[in-house]
Structure 1
Amino acid sequence: MKRQELMHSSCPIDRAISEVGDAWTFQILRDAMHGVTRFTDFSKRIGVASNILTARLQKLVAVGIFEIQEAALGNSREYVLTDKGRDLHIVLAALRQWGQSHLFEDDEVITRVVDTRTGRQPRPMTVTAEDGRELGPEDILVVQSRAADPIEAAAPVTGTSPRPKI
Protein backbone atom coordinates (compact mmCIF):
# COMPACT_ATOMS: atom_id res chain seq x y z
CA MET A 1 0.00 0.00 0.00
CA LYS A 2 1.35 3.43 -0.94
CA ARG A 3 1.93 5.92 1.85
CA GLN A 4 -0.82 8.28 0.59
CA GLU A 5 -3.31 5.41 0.60
CA LEU A 6 -2.67 4.76 4.30
CA MET A 7 -4.81 7.74 5.34
CA HIS A 8 -7.84 6.12 3.68
CA SER A 9 -7.28 2.62 5.05
CA SER A 10 -9.81 1.02 7.39
CA CYS A 11 -6.91 0.03 9.67
CA PRO A 12 -6.21 2.48 12.54
CA ILE A 13 -2.51 1.53 12.50
CA ASP A 14 -2.23 2.52 8.82
CA ARG A 15 -3.89 5.86 9.48
CA ALA A 16 -1.68 6.52 12.51
CA ILE A 17 1.43 5.75 10.42
CA SER A 18 0.25 8.24 7.80
CA GLU A 19 0.29 11.01 10.43
CA VAL A 20 3.24 10.16 12.66
CA GLY A 21 5.08 7.28 11.00
CA ASP A 22 8.66 8.43 10.56
CA ALA A 23 11.68 8.77 12.83
CA TRP A 24 11.87 12.58 12.72
CA THR A 25 8.22 12.90 13.73
CA PHE A 26 8.62 10.50 16.65
CA GLN A 27 11.68 12.42 17.85
CA ILE A 28 9.75 15.70 17.62
CA LEU A 29 6.88 14.17 19.59
CA ARG A 30 9.25 12.69 22.19
CA ASP A 31 10.84 16.07 22.80
CA ALA A 32 7.46 17.85 22.85
CA MET A 33 6.30 15.42 25.54
CA HIS A 34 9.30 16.60 27.59
CA GLY A 35 8.49 20.28 27.21
CA VAL A 36 10.25 21.39 24.02
CA THR A 37 8.11 23.92 22.11
CA ARG A 38 10.41 26.11 20.02
CA PHE A 39 11.70 25.39 16.53
CA THR A 40 15.30 26.17 17.47
CA ASP A 41 15.17 23.82 20.46
CA PHE A 42 13.75 20.96 18.36
CA SER A 43 16.47 21.61 15.79
CA LYS A 44 19.29 21.56 18.36
CA ARG A 45 18.06 18.47 20.19
CA ILE A 46 17.21 16.35 17.14
CA GLY A 47 19.82 17.60 14.68
CA VAL A 48 17.42 17.55 11.73
CA ALA A 49 17.73 19.87 8.73
CA SER A 50 15.55 22.98 8.96
CA ASN A 51 13.51 22.13 5.86
CA ILE A 52 12.66 18.66 7.20
CA LEU A 53 11.78 20.02 10.64
CA THR A 54 9.61 22.73 9.07
CA ALA A 55 7.75 20.17 6.97
CA ARG A 56 7.16 17.83 9.91
CA LEU A 57 5.96 20.62 12.20
CA GLN A 58 3.65 21.99 9.50
CA LYS A 59 2.14 18.54 9.01
CA LEU A 60 1.71 18.02 12.77
CA VAL A 61 -0.11 21.36 12.96
CA ALA A 62 -2.24 20.53 9.89
CA VAL A 63 -3.42 17.21 11.36
CA GLY A 64 -4.15 18.75 14.77
CA ILE A 65 -1.34 17.23 16.84
CA PHE A 66 0.28 20.63 17.51
CA GLU A 67 -1.14 24.11 17.65
CA ILE A 68 0.91 27.24 17.22
CA GLN A 69 0.93 29.78 20.03
CA GLU A 70 2.76 33.06 20.27
CA ALA A 71 5.60 32.84 22.79
CA ALA A 72 5.17 34.76 26.01
CA LEU A 73 8.53 36.46 25.49
CA GLY A 74 9.74 37.78 22.16
CA ASN A 75 8.17 37.40 18.78
CA SER A 76 8.67 33.68 18.30
CA ARG A 77 6.10 30.92 18.00
CA GLU A 78 5.74 27.79 20.07
CA TYR A 79 4.46 24.39 18.99
CA VAL A 80 2.16 23.14 21.74
CA LEU A 81 0.67 19.66 21.86
CA THR A 82 -3.11 19.49 21.52
CA ASP A 83 -5.15 16.84 23.34
CA LYS A 84 -4.78 14.69 20.22
CA GLY A 85 -1.01 15.13 20.45
CA ARG A 86 -0.85 14.47 24.18
CA ASP A 87 -2.77 11.22 23.61
CA LEU A 88 0.31 9.97 21.69
CA HIS A 89 2.09 9.78 25.06
CA ILE A 90 0.89 6.19 25.47
CA VAL A 91 2.28 5.24 22.04
CA LEU A 92 5.68 6.71 22.84
CA ALA A 93 5.68 5.08 26.27
CA ALA A 94 4.97 1.68 24.70
CA LEU A 95 7.79 2.16 22.15
CA ARG A 96 10.15 3.23 24.93
CA GLN A 97 9.34 0.17 27.03
CA TRP A 98 9.71 -2.17 24.05
CA GLY A 99 13.07 -0.57 23.19
CA GLN A 100 14.28 -0.81 26.79
CA SER A 101 13.40 -4.50 26.93
CA HIS A 102 14.78 -5.59 23.57
CA LEU A 103 17.39 -3.19 22.19
CA PHE A 104 19.99 -2.60 24.92
CA GLU A 105 22.78 -4.68 26.38
CA ASP A 106 23.24 -4.54 30.17
CA ASP A 107 26.38 -2.38 29.95
CA GLU A 108 24.92 0.25 27.60
CA VAL A 109 23.87 3.75 28.66
CA ILE A 110 20.10 4.17 28.38
CA THR A 111 17.61 6.94 29.05
CA ARG A 112 14.66 5.96 31.23
CA VAL A 113 11.54 7.59 32.56
CA VAL A 114 10.45 7.61 36.17
CA ASP A 115 7.30 8.67 37.98
CA THR A 116 7.89 12.20 39.29
CA ARG A 117 6.14 11.35 42.56
CA THR A 118 7.81 8.03 43.38
CA GLY A 119 11.05 8.09 41.39
CA ARG A 120 10.24 4.57 40.16
CA GLN A 121 9.82 3.29 36.62
CA PRO A 122 6.24 2.82 35.38
CA ARG A 123 4.88 -0.71 35.23
CA PRO A 124 5.23 -2.39 31.83
CA MET A 125 2.30 -1.60 29.56
CA THR A 126 -0.06 -4.34 28.51
CA VAL A 127 -3.25 -4.74 26.56
CA THR A 128 -5.84 -5.70 29.12
CA ALA A 129 -9.30 -7.22 28.72
CA GLU A 130 -12.27 -5.77 30.60
CA ASP A 131 -11.94 -8.58 33.15
CA GLY A 132 -8.28 -7.75 33.81
CA ARG A 133 -6.67 -10.53 31.74
CA GLU A 134 -3.56 -9.58 29.83
CA LEU A 135 -4.16 -10.06 26.10
CA GLY A 136 -1.50 -11.27 23.66
CA PRO A 137 -1.65 -11.25 19.85
CA GLU A 138 -3.27 -14.69 19.92
CA ASP A 139 -6.16 -13.30 21.99
CA ILE A 140 -7.09 -10.53 19.57
CA LEU A 141 -9.66 -10.69 16.77
CA VAL A 142 -9.75 -7.85 14.24
CA VAL A 143 -13.31 -6.80 13.41
CA GLN A 144 -14.69 -4.11 11.12
CA SER A 145 -17.67 -1.77 11.28
CA ARG A 146 -18.48 1.89 10.86
CA ALA A 147 -16.70 3.93 13.53
CA ALA A 148 -20.01 5.11 15.02
CA ASP A 149 -21.53 1.60 15.21
CA PRO A 150 -21.48 -0.41 18.45
CA ILE A 151 -18.80 -3.10 18.60
CA GLU A 152 -21.53 -5.76 18.59
CA ALA A 153 -22.33 -4.80 14.97
CA ALA A 154 -18.76 -5.51 13.84
CA ALA A 155 -17.85 -8.44 11.65
CA PRO A 156 -14.51 -10.33 11.69
CA VAL A 157 -12.02 -9.26 9.05
CA THR A 158 -11.14 -12.21 6.83
CA GLY A 159 -7.88 -13.92 7.76
CA THR A 160 -7.55 -12.46 11.26
CA SER A 161 -9.07 -15.14 13.45
CA PRO A 162 -7.24 -15.87 16.68
CA ARG A 163 -4.67 -18.65 16.65
CA PRO A 164 -5.77 -21.76 18.49
CA LYS A 165 -4.29 -22.06 21.99
CA ILE A 166 -2.08 -25.10 22.58
Structure 2
Amino acid sequence: MDAAPRSDCPINQAVEVLGDPWAMLVLRDIMFGDRRHFRELLTGSAEGIASNILSARLRRLVETGLLTREDARRGQRAAYSLTEAGVQVLPIMVALGSWGLAHRAGDQRLRIRAELLRDGGPELVGRFMDELRELHLGVARPDPCAPRAADEIRGAYEAALRNEPIEE
Protein backbone atom coordinates (compact mmCIF):
# COMPACT_ATOMS: atom_id res chain seq x y z
CA MET A 1 0.00 0.00 0.00
CA ASP A 2 1.42 3.42 0.94
CA ALA A 3 5.05 3.79 1.90
CA ALA A 4 5.69 5.76 5.07
CA PRO A 5 5.87 9.52 4.38
CA ARG A 6 9.28 11.15 4.51
CA SER A 7 8.06 13.19 7.47
CA ASP A 8 4.93 13.99 9.41
CA CYS A 9 4.89 17.57 8.08
CA PRO A 10 1.43 18.14 6.53
CA ILE A 11 2.95 20.01 3.56
CA ASN A 12 5.26 17.06 2.87
CA GLN A 13 2.39 14.61 3.16
CA ALA A 14 0.23 16.65 0.76
CA VAL A 15 3.09 16.95 -1.73
CA GLU A 16 3.67 13.21 -1.61
CA VAL A 17 0.06 12.67 -2.74
CA LEU A 18 -0.56 15.73 -4.93
CA GLY A 19 2.96 16.66 -6.05
CA ASP A 20 2.94 14.46 -9.12
CA PRO A 21 1.93 16.55 -12.15
CA TRP A 22 0.09 13.68 -13.82
CA ALA A 23 -1.99 13.07 -10.69
CA MET A 24 -3.13 16.70 -10.64
CA LEU A 25 -3.94 16.62 -14.35
CA VAL A 26 -5.99 13.43 -13.96
CA LEU A 27 -7.91 15.06 -11.09
CA ARG A 28 -8.38 18.18 -13.23
CA ASP A 29 -9.85 16.15 -16.08
CA ILE A 30 -12.20 14.30 -13.72
CA MET A 31 -13.32 17.55 -12.03
CA PHE A 32 -13.62 19.86 -15.00
CA GLY A 33 -14.11 17.44 -17.89
CA ASP A 34 -16.37 14.96 -16.08
CA ARG A 35 -14.22 12.17 -17.49
CA ARG A 36 -14.91 9.12 -15.33
CA HIS A 37 -13.57 6.21 -17.40
CA PHE A 38 -10.05 5.20 -18.36
CA ARG A 39 -10.56 5.65 -22.12
CA GLU A 40 -12.10 9.13 -21.65
CA LEU A 41 -9.17 10.19 -19.50
CA LEU A 42 -6.66 8.76 -21.96
CA THR A 43 -8.12 10.27 -25.13
CA GLY A 44 -9.17 13.54 -23.49
CA SER A 45 -5.76 14.38 -22.07
CA ALA A 46 -4.53 17.62 -23.66
CA GLU A 47 -1.05 16.75 -22.40
CA GLY A 48 -1.03 13.30 -24.02
CA ILE A 49 -0.73 10.97 -21.04
CA ALA A 50 0.51 7.47 -21.83
CA SER A 51 -1.78 4.57 -20.89
CA ASN A 52 0.70 3.03 -18.45
CA ILE A 53 1.17 6.39 -16.67
CA LEU A 54 -2.60 6.94 -16.50
CA SER A 55 -3.14 3.44 -15.11
CA ALA A 56 -0.48 3.98 -12.43
CA ARG A 57 -1.86 7.42 -11.45
CA LEU A 58 -5.44 6.18 -11.20
CA ARG A 59 -4.30 3.29 -9.03
CA ARG A 60 -2.32 5.68 -6.79
CA LEU A 61 -5.22 8.16 -6.52
CA VAL A 62 -7.49 5.31 -5.41
CA GLU A 63 -4.88 4.04 -2.92
CA THR A 64 -4.44 7.51 -1.40
CA GLY A 65 -8.19 8.02 -1.00
CA LEU A 66 -8.78 10.77 -3.59
CA LEU A 67 -10.75 8.54 -5.96
CA THR A 68 -12.88 5.45 -5.77
CA ARG A 69 -13.08 2.88 -8.53
CA GLU A 70 -16.41 1.26 -9.21
CA ASP A 71 -15.63 -2.20 -10.45
CA ALA A 72 -17.20 -2.97 -13.76
CA ARG A 73 -19.16 -6.07 -14.58
CA ARG A 74 -18.31 -7.96 -17.72
CA GLY A 75 -18.81 -5.75 -20.76
CA GLN A 76 -18.85 -2.52 -18.74
CA ARG A 77 -16.19 0.06 -18.01
CA ALA A 78 -14.94 0.85 -14.51
CA ALA A 79 -15.91 4.34 -13.36
CA TYR A 80 -13.81 6.61 -11.15
CA SER A 81 -15.36 9.04 -8.69
CA LEU A 82 -13.95 11.70 -6.42
CA THR A 83 -14.02 11.11 -2.69
CA GLU A 84 -14.60 13.99 -0.26
CA ALA A 85 -10.81 14.33 -0.03
CA GLY A 86 -10.71 14.52 -3.84
CA VAL A 87 -13.40 17.22 -3.92
CA GLN A 88 -11.37 19.21 -1.40
CA VAL A 89 -8.48 19.36 -3.88
CA LEU A 90 -10.49 21.93 -5.88
CA PRO A 91 -9.33 24.99 -3.87
CA ILE A 92 -5.74 23.79 -4.35
CA MET A 93 -6.36 23.64 -8.11
CA VAL A 94 -7.79 27.16 -7.97
CA ALA A 95 -4.70 28.39 -6.10
CA LEU A 96 -2.39 26.70 -8.61
CA GLY A 97 -4.35 28.19 -11.50
CA SER A 98 -4.21 31.66 -9.95
CA TRP A 99 -0.46 31.36 -9.45
CA GLY A 100 -0.08 30.20 -13.07
CA LEU A 101 -2.11 33.17 -14.29
CA ALA A 102 0.08 35.60 -12.36
CA HIS A 103 3.47 34.07 -13.11
CA ARG A 104 3.31 32.09 -16.35
CA ALA A 105 2.36 32.94 -19.91
CA GLY A 106 0.09 30.62 -21.82
CA ASP A 107 -2.61 30.31 -24.40
CA GLN A 108 -5.33 32.79 -23.45
CA ARG A 109 -8.03 30.30 -24.39
CA LEU A 110 -6.70 27.76 -21.89
CA ARG A 111 -6.49 30.33 -19.09
CA ILE A 112 -10.23 31.06 -19.03
CA ARG A 113 -11.17 28.36 -16.51
CA ALA A 114 -8.53 29.56 -14.02
CA GLU A 115 -9.64 33.17 -14.54
CA LEU A 116 -13.30 32.31 -13.91
CA LEU A 117 -12.50 30.42 -10.73
CA ARG A 118 -10.14 33.13 -9.50
CA ASP A 119 -12.59 35.92 -10.24
CA GLY A 120 -15.62 33.97 -8.98
CA GLY A 121 -14.01 33.68 -5.58
CA PRO A 122 -15.07 31.40 -2.75
CA GLU A 123 -18.77 31.52 -3.72
CA LEU A 124 -18.17 30.00 -7.17
CA VAL A 125 -15.64 27.51 -5.82
CA GLY A 126 -18.10 26.47 -3.09
CA ARG A 127 -20.93 25.96 -5.58
CA PHE A 128 -18.66 23.89 -7.80
CA MET A 129 -17.56 21.76 -4.83
CA ASP A 130 -21.23 21.18 -3.96
CA GLU A 131 -21.86 20.06 -7.55
CA LEU A 132 -18.87 17.70 -7.44
CA ARG A 133 -20.23 16.21 -4.19
CA GLU A 134 -23.61 15.72 -5.86
CA LEU A 135 -22.13 14.09 -8.96
CA HIS A 136 -19.51 11.91 -7.29
CA LEU A 137 -20.85 11.29 -3.78
CA GLY A 138 -24.62 11.55 -4.26
CA VAL A 139 -24.92 14.43 -1.77
CA ALA A 140 -27.71 16.83 -2.73
CA ARG A 141 -26.65 20.43 -3.35
CA PRO A 142 -27.66 22.79 -0.52
CA ASP A 143 -29.35 25.11 -3.02
CA PRO A 144 -30.62 23.09 -5.99
CA CYS A 145 -31.97 26.29 -7.57
CA ALA A 146 -28.56 28.00 -7.64
CA PRO A 147 -26.99 28.39 -11.08
CA ARG A 148 -24.73 25.48 -11.90
CA ALA A 149 -21.09 26.51 -11.60
CA ALA A 150 -19.95 23.62 -13.78
CA ASP A 151 -22.13 24.81 -16.66
CA GLU A 152 -20.76 28.34 -16.34
CA ILE A 153 -17.14 27.14 -16.23
CA ARG A 154 -17.52 24.54 -18.99
CA GLY A 155 -19.45 26.92 -21.26
CA ALA A 156 -16.85 29.67 -20.98
CA TYR A 157 -14.02 27.18 -21.51
CA GLU A 158 -15.62 25.64 -24.60
CA ALA A 159 -16.43 29.09 -26.03
CA ALA A 160 -12.83 30.16 -25.49
CA LEU A 161 -11.57 27.04 -27.28
CA ARG A 162 -13.83 27.94 -30.24
CA ASN A 163 -12.64 31.58 -30.02
CA GLU A 164 -16.19 32.78 -29.38
CA PRO A 165 -17.10 35.71 -27.15
CA ILE A 166 -17.88 34.70 -23.58
CA GLU A 167 -21.40 35.43 -22.36
CA GLU A 168 -21.51 37.30 -19.04
Normalising by structure 1, report the TM-score: 0.60
> Quick one: structure 1 residues 102 and 80, their matched pair in 2 at CA, closer, same or farther if it must change by over 3 Å?
same
Match of 2:25 in 1: 27
Distance 1:108 1:51 in 2: 31
The structure with the largest helix share of the pair is: 2
Distance 1:61 1:97 in 2: 27
* 1:8, distance to aligned residue in structure 2 (A): 4.2
* Larger Rg computed on CA atoms: 1
Q: Which runs of 5+ in 2 are unaligned?
A: 123-168
Match of 1:44 in 2: 43
* 1:25, distance to aligned residue in structure 2 (A): 0.7
Percent identity, aligned pairs only, is 35
Match of 2:79 in 1: 78
* 1:86, distance to aligned residue in structure 2 (A): 0.5
Alignment root-mean-square deviation, CA: 2.6
Distance 1:11 1:63 in 2: 17
Name the count of aligned residue pairs: 114
Normalising by structure 2, report the TM-score: 0.60
SS at match of 2:80: strand
Structure with the bigger RCO (C-alpha within 8 Å, sep 6+) is 2
The structure with the largest strand share of the pair is: 1
SS at match of 1:37: coil
Q: Which runs of 5+ in 1 are unaligned?
A: 125-166
* 1:108, distance to aligned residue in structure 2 (A): 4.4
